[in-house]
Structure 1
């Protein structure tokens, strides 16, 4: 039995995909200590892991900005968190004497501590994978789709220069390197991905954009849903057999009243039944009258609803997209922030749904998109194909095999 330290990010979309991996490691006899923020304690302990708190040091939120400045701000945020967490937890982790460390790709401190302790380090991509090699292959894709910098004055000034991406990354690396005394860091691969000699990717090559640039240090494990506790007070008896539309825009963003209203206007009093999750930030009373064919709740049992849904209107978070694909439910994606735009494009390119580029669509646009994914069987067929590709990738058993094999080989070599 080996002792493992896992460093996570305190966002549901990052924690949920790791729970199955942790549970499977424990089934194999590994002892896992999982670092996260206190609200995630119960969910993590259900896997059999020992929860360890960041003690208020980590608070990942969602930044709504775009462009080059946002990239610098986020890089600085991660570097600052890394410095503080390593300093605060160094001795505690050292006393645990882990055999290896697994960490979320945003948790640079996991990579730093593994290097300090001279033990194997493994990175886990819980979000949509984006690595430096993808940007080098298609710099415009990175600038326009990932960074959303199409209106950034600096980008507009230099647009068309073949080495613009390289110059930008070199400049950001120098700025961050000077501030933190790490001059040789690669902003994308070292800070945003914390890449290691082994990197677990929870998707399939069939769904991944530019999958050919991911070398054999990346293990594509597909996506496998780990059962989780969900609210049981949902009125399933009210679902009456009409085509079911599920609409949800994540648990973090709020001030989306216009978007909720667009759903009311487009689908209210229609032949569809609609379940809408608002998140805890929005008061349903503030939205005005709710159409009779809607069931609106702050939080709903997403996995069970996706098992019955015919279409999913989503913000395009990784958790939501992968869970929808695992139920073969086609999507209408209305991305709101950062990596959701890449998720929307992945859905579009794979044929598993529609990327609705207007963040505040008209009722006619939204109704038309819903009708398209429901009436065209190709969308569900593509979802089923991607769902099968997740299974064919090998799943959690394959991922755990690779982790244990890698950790043992590294120890033997050292």
Structure 2
């Protein structure tokens, strides 16, 4: 039995994909401590892991701004959090004497603590995977769908003439490296990915854009839904009409105009609609909703996806992967960061529809929902992607890769 420390990000879309992995590691005899923020204690402890709190030192959120501005702000946020958390947690992690550390790809402090303790580190990509090598194959894709800089004047001026992406990331890397005394850092691979000798990707090559850019250190494990305790729901109100499930994540709160568009698009339809608004949305702002809508702050997503005809989503990784697993066609309205890349992957795989406007017109939204609900070709492609997830190997493959990686690392130390 080995001792394992896992460092997570305090977002549902990052915690949920890791629960099955942690549970399986514990079934295999590993002892796991999982660091996260307090609201996630219950679901983490249900895996059998020991919960440890960041004690208020971590709070991931969303920054609204241009793609390039967001990149700089987010890189600085991760670096500052890493400096704080390494200093605060080093002694208690050292005293526990873990055999290896697993961390979310956004948790640079996990990589740095593994290096300081001279133990193996493993990175887990709970978000849509993006690495610097993808930009070498398609820099315009990276500028437009990762950095969200399609409208940036500098990019528009030099598009197709210069590798603006490389110039930009090299400059940002120098700025961040100078501020934190870390010359030579790669802002993508070292900060946003915290790349290690083993990197686990919860997706398949069939769904991932530019999958050929990922080398042998990246393991495509597919995606498996891990059962979780879900909120109560008035299932008795469901009347058999085709079900449309609408959810735009748990941390985007200023979406009242979009919710009103959903009301207008679907109020006179033959659909029954379930809408999850998150706890930050004031019900009074929404006003009177149509009679065919059921609205709650949180809903049992897994159960509803098993019943839904269409999922209208912001395009978070957790939401898209779970929809793929339940073979539910999507209408994706990305709002921030990697959701745009997720929406593009849904479109390219023909598993749903990507609406370019974050606030579409009523008729545009209704037409997309009708198309997703009635075009059977989406269901066929959904089955193919689901099969690619299953054939990738899943959690068992990920655990086997971890065990072998740690074993090889220990043998290397013994031979030195």
Deviations 1:31-55 (A, max 9, x none): 0011111111111111100111111
The answer on whether the counterparts of 1:247 and 1:277 sit within 8 Å (CA) in structure 2 is yes
How far off its partner does 1:144 sit? 1.1
The answer on whether the counterparts of 1:246 and 1:306 sit within 8 Å (CA) in structure 2 is yes
How far off its partner does 1:345 sit? 0.3
SS in 1 for 2:294: strand
How far off its partner does 1:114 sit? 0.6
The answer on whether the counterparts of 2:249 and 2:314 sit within 8 Å (CA) in structure 1 is yes
SS in 2 for 1:101: strand
TM-score by length of 2: 0.98
Equivalence map 1:35-114=2 (5 Å): 35-114=35-114
Correspondence for 1:4: 4
1:203 aligns with 2:203: yes
CA distance in 2, matches of 1:338, 1:398: 29
How far off its partner does 1:83 sit? 0.6
How far off its partner does 1:161 sit? 3.0
CA distance in 1, matches of 2:70, 2:136: 20
The answer on whether the counterparts of 1:310 and 1:330 sit within 8 Å (CA) in structure 2 is yes
The answer on whether the counterparts of 1:75 and 1:187 sit within 8 Å (CA) in structure 2 is yes
TM-score by length of 1: 0.98
CA RMSD of aligned residues (A): 0.9
CA distance in 2, matches of 1:42, 1:238: 29
Correspondence for 1:318: 317
How far off its partner does 1:158 sit? 3.3
How far off its partner does 1:287 sit? 1.4
CA distance in 2, matches of 1:286, 1:57: 32
Aligned pair count? 413
CA distance in 2, matches of 1:302, 1:157: 44
CA distance in 2, matches of 1:157, 1:363: 34
CA distance in 2, matches of 1:65, 1:98: 39
1:411 aligns with 2:402: no
CA distance in 2, matches of 1:337, 1:300: 22
Deviates more, 1:96-105 or 1:290-299: 290-299
Equivalence map 1:338-357=2 (5 Å): 338-357=337-356
How far off its partner does 1:321 sit? 0.4
Correspondence for 1:222: 222
The answer on whether the counterparts of 2:67 and 2:337 sit within 8 Å (CA) in structure 1 is no
Correspondence for 2:256: 257
CA distance in 2, matches of 1:325, 1:383: 6
CA distance in 2, matches of 1:167, 1:269: 51
CA distance in 2, matches of 1:256, 1:385: 33
How far off its partner does 1:10 sit? 0.5
Deviations 1:136-170 (A, max 9, x none): 11111111111111222332343333322221111
CA distance in 1, matches of 2:20, 2:65: 32
After the TM superposition, list the runs of 4 or more consecutive aligned residues in structure 1 that deviate by more than 3 angstroms. none
SS in 2 for 1:275: strand
How far off its partner does 1:76 sit? 0.8
Correspondence for 2:385: 386
Deviations 1:160-219 (A, max 9, x none): 333222211111111111111110111100000000010000001100000011111111
The answer on whether the counterparts of 1:17 and 1:226 sit within 8 Å (CA) in structure 2 is yes
Correspondence for 1:15: 15
The answer on whether the counterparts of 1:136 and 1:165 sit within 8 Å (CA) in structure 2 is no
Structure 2 unaligned runs (5+)? none
CA distance in 2, matches of 1:67, 1:312: 26
1:369 aligns with 2:368: yes
Equivalence map 1:265-284=2 (5 Å): 265-284=264-283
Deviations 1:284-334 (A, max 9, x none): 232122111111111110100000001100000001001111100000000
The answer on whether the counterparts of 1:221 and 1:396 sit within 8 Å (CA) in structure 2 is yes
CA distance in 2, matches of 1:171, 1:119: 32
Correspondence for 1:174: 174
Structure 1 unaligned runs (5+)? none
CA distance in 2, matches of 1:91, 1:105: 22
CA distance in 2, matches of 1:159, 1:285: 45
SS in 1 for 2:260: helix
CA distance in 1, matches of 2:231, 2:182: 46
SS in 2 for 1:345: helix
CA distance in 2, matches of 1:196, 1:275: 41
Correspondence for 2:161: 161
CA distance in 1, matches of 2:377, 2:94: 53
Correspondence for 1:358: 357
